[in-house]
Amino acid sequence: MKTVKFILSLLFGLMFINAGLNKFFNYMPMEKPTPEQMKVFSAFGEIAWLMPLVGAVEVIGGLLFIFPKTRALGAIVILPVMVGIVAHVFTLDKSPMGMAIAGVMFLINLWMIIDNKEKYKHLLS
C-alpha cells in the first residue's frame, strides 16, 4: 500500500508540476477553445497575475505532494486549484475524459488529506 501511495503521489505531483510549468512556458499544444472557453480564457487574461499565481501554486504544491514528509502540506496547497479544475471540467468542459481525470485526481487529493488528518488536528484546535 505504501508503494501504491508513493506512485500515485509521484504521478499526481508530476502532473501538477507539468501543468504549472506550462503556464509559464506554454509548451503543450491546446485544442481550439469553444466560445464559452474563450470567454473564460479572456477573463483570465484580464487578470494578468492570476495564471502565474496558479502556475506557481501548482509547481510548489506538486513538489510538496511528491515527498512523504511534506505531502500533507502539498495536499492542502493543491486543494483550491483542484476544486477549480473540477468545477471547470464539470461545468464548462464536460468531456468524459476530462471528467474522469479530474475526478480521479480529486479523489487522490482527498485520500492524501484524509490519510494525513492527524497532521491537521493542530490547525483545527
- Listed by start position, the domains of the chain span 2-28+49-124
Q: Look at residue 46 in the predicted model and tell me its pLDDT.
A: 92
What is the pLDDT confidence band of residue 45, given thresholds at 50, 70 and 90? confident
44 pLDDT higher than 90: no
Cell numbers at 66, concatenated: 511528491
Q: Look at residue 124 in the predicted model and tell me its pLDDT.
A: 83
70 or 30, greater pLDDT: 70
Q: Look at residue 95 in the predicted model and tell me its pLDDT.
A: 86
Q: Look at residue 94 in the predicted model and tell me its pLDDT.
A: 81
60 pLDDT higher than 90: yes
Q: Are 59 and 65 in contact (CB under 8 A)?
A: no
Grid look-up 492570476 returns 50
Q: Which residues contact 31 (CB under 8 A, 6 or more apart)?
A: none
Q: Look at residue 92 in the predicted model and tell me its pLDDT.
A: 82
Q: Look at residue 37 in the predicted model and tell me its pLDDT.
A: 81
Provide, rounded to the nearest whole percent, the portion of the chain with pLDDT above 90.
77
Q: Look at residue 122 in the predicted model and tell me its pLDDT.
A: 87
Grid look-up 497575475 returns 49
- What pTM did the predictor assign? 0.92
Question: What mean pLDDT comes out for the span 66-74?
Answer: 97
